[in-house]
Amino acid sequence: MNTEVYSLVNAGKIVAGAGSIKTISDIVTDYQAKKVLVITDQGVWNAGLVQKPKNLLESAGIAVEIINTTPPEPNADQVSQIFETAKNSGCEMIVGLGGGSSMDVAKIVAIMLTNGHSIRELLDGAKITKRGIPTLMIPTTTGTGAEATPNAIFLVPEKEIKIGIVSEKMLPNCVILDPELTVNLPKAITAATGMDALAHGIECYISKKANPFSDTFALKSINLISRSIRKAYNNGQDLAARQDMLLGAMFGGISIATSSTVAVHALSYPLGGKYHIPHGLSNAILLPHVMKFTLDAAEEKFKDIAVAMELETTGLSARQAAEKMIDNLYSLIYDLNLKVDLREKGIHESDIDSMAEASLKVTRLLNNNPKPMNKDDIREIYKKLFE
């Protein structure tokens, strides 16, 4: 741990547990909001997950407007379109219902309503000076931890990369973590988003920005996800496993808010930014390879992670425990059937050089990796994805 001064920031109120969605009208009433705007996506809408919170709010006399057009990887123009609808809605509170994309859009739209900056200006570094209108985040996947972070990440197509907007003023006012909303999550999404959350915990624990706050939440995140991801994948109706995954994802998000992800996320950005591979999937396939590269610089921390994963480490050296942890990551990828044919996605080995160049620009994350990476190192990791 190199950080001498560190801080813990978090959402204002967090309600968790099976059936906790029933508290939504009480939460909104506390903010004296008479009209709520729900920002979600087509998958959540088609799954019928909007109906219950909508009914609860309307039964309490609260008007509800819904935007269900959030794309999987929102870009600046799409955010602008959603903002135009939000601006004319007269809403007094915004609910982000869904995965990281819906929550990120909800957070940034709330900010845009009070700060007067366009999404392009914010992506170019315009300063956020005011909190947005009140926000409530309700995750229906168990991956990004966006409900706990001060970040919102968007695609900038002309640069073929994603850019993160970061401000503590984006931290949600409230969060509801209800595992009942995640029981019908498809297996592939359970796997990819769960591994994304696991990556958050692992990366934040080994980051150069790690500190006692982030370490506490990161290790608990790793523990909860490691013990439950296979259960949630194999039986989506397992509420205890689903609750573990929701909590693990949120704890990973809290870790990001006080520490930082590292090279896994830096290398994943070009895969999503240019080739539109889902964020969780790209992190999942990169995670073991990046950890194997980083091993020499993080043996003791990797041993701690092995213990958090409840792997048997008695009598093992730090190196042996670390290698066991990495082997377990490869096993997880296999058990959860996480794979992607890059060539099928239009990525070829001739593209590795440009992807490596794009990754090198994500210095915000690469600089926090325990072991420095140069272009050749990054190229070698990308090559492994073609094997």
State yes or no: pLDDT of 261 exceeds 80. yes
Least Cα distance to 385 among 233, 277, 295, 299 occurs for 277
Residue 110, domain member (yes or no): yes
Residues 159 and 202 grouped into a single domain: no
Please provide the distance, in angstroms rounded to a whole number, between the alpha carbons at the two ends of the chain.
35
Q: Which of 5-14, 100-109, 205-214, 238-247 has the lowest mean pLDDT?
A: 5-14
Mean pLDDT score, 243-263: 96
Choose the final residue of a domain: 127, 159, 181. Answer: 181
Domain boundary among 181, 200, 231: 181
Q: Contact, 154 vs 79, CB < 8 A?
A: yes
Is residue 3 assigned to a domain?
no
Mean pLDDT, to the nearest integer, of 312-328? 97
Share of the chain above pLDDT 70, in %: 99
pLDDT of residue 9: 87
Whether residue 287 sits in one domain with residue 347 = yes
Instruction: Name the residue with tokens 């890059």.
Output: 342
- DSSP state letters, 173-201: SEEEE-GGGTTT--HHHHHHHHHHHHHHH
Q: For residue 48, what are the contacts with CB-CB under 8 A and spacing of at least 6?
A: none
Q: For position 286, what pLDDT does the model report?
A: 97
Lowest-pLDDT choice from 188-197, 256-265, 272-281, 286-295: 272-281
User: CA angle 67-47-63, nearest 5°?
Assistant: 40
- For the stretch 78-90, pLDDT in tens is 999 999 999 999 9
Report pLDDT for 291: 98
> What would the two tokens of residue 141 be?
């996947």
Give domain status of residue 6, yes or no: no
Is residue 259 within 8 Å of residue 365, measured between CB atoms? no
Summarised one tens digit per residue, pLDDT across range 355-387 is 999 999 999 999 999 999 999 999 999 999 998
Both structure tokens of 237: 């109706």
Q: Under a CB-based contact definition with an 8 Å cutoff, are residues 112 and 128 in contact?
A: no
My answer on whether 99 and 147 are in the same domain is yes
For 300, phi and psi rounded to 5 degrees? -65, -40
* Assigned domain for 267 exists: yes
Task: Mark whether 150 and 126 lie in a shared domain.
Answer: yes
Q: What's the pLDDT score for residue 3? A: 53
Average pLDDT over residues 231-243: 98
Q: How far, CA to CA in Å, does 381 sit from each of 279, 293, 305?
A: 17, 8, 22
Residues of the domain holding 149: 13-181
Out of 134, 154, 181, pick the residue that ends a domain. 181
Share of the chain above pLDDT 90, in %: 90
pLDDT of residue 265: 95
Domain match, 220 and 364 both = yes
The residue ranges of DSSP E strands in the chain, in sequence order, are 13-16, 35-39, 63-67, 93-98, 135-139, 151-156, 161-166, 174-177
Do 93 and 226 reside in the same domain of the chain?
no
Per the CB < 8 A criterion, the answer to whether 236 and 184 are in contact is yes
User: 288 and 176 share a domain?
Assistant: no
At 13-25, the pLDDT tens digits run: 999 999 999 999 9
Residues 222 and 164 in one domain: no
pLDDT(1) > 60:
no
| Judgement on whether residues 173 and 269 belong to the same structural domain of the protein | no
On whether both 257 and 162 belong to a single domain, the answer is: no
- DSSP for 209-268, written as a single string: T--HHHHHHHHHHHHHHHHHHHHHHH-TT-HHHHHHHHHHHHHHHHHHHHS---HHHHHH
- Output the domain CATH number for residue 285: 1.20.1090.10
Residue 141 lies in a domain: yes
pLDDT tens track for 117-166: 999 999 999 999 999 999 999 999 998 899 999 999 998 888 777 788 99
CATH number, domain containing residue 146:
3.40.50.1970
**Average pLDDT in the 219-246 region?**
98
Is pLDDT above 90 for 327? yes
Q: Assess whether 45 and 173 both reside in one domain.
A: yes
Please tell me the total count of domains within the chain.
2
Whether residue 2 is predicted with pLDDT greater than 60 in this model: the reply is no
pLDDT score of 234: 98
User: Residue 7 domain-assigned?
Assistant: no
Over residues 152-204, the pLDDT tens digits come to 999 888 877 778 899 999 999 999 999 999 999 999 999 999 999 999 999 99
Mean pLDDT for all residues in the chain: 95
Distance of CA 278 to the CA centre of its chain: 11
- 227 and 136 housed in the same domain: no
Question: Is residue 224 very low, low, confident or very high in pLDDT (cuts 50, 70, 90)?
Answer: very high
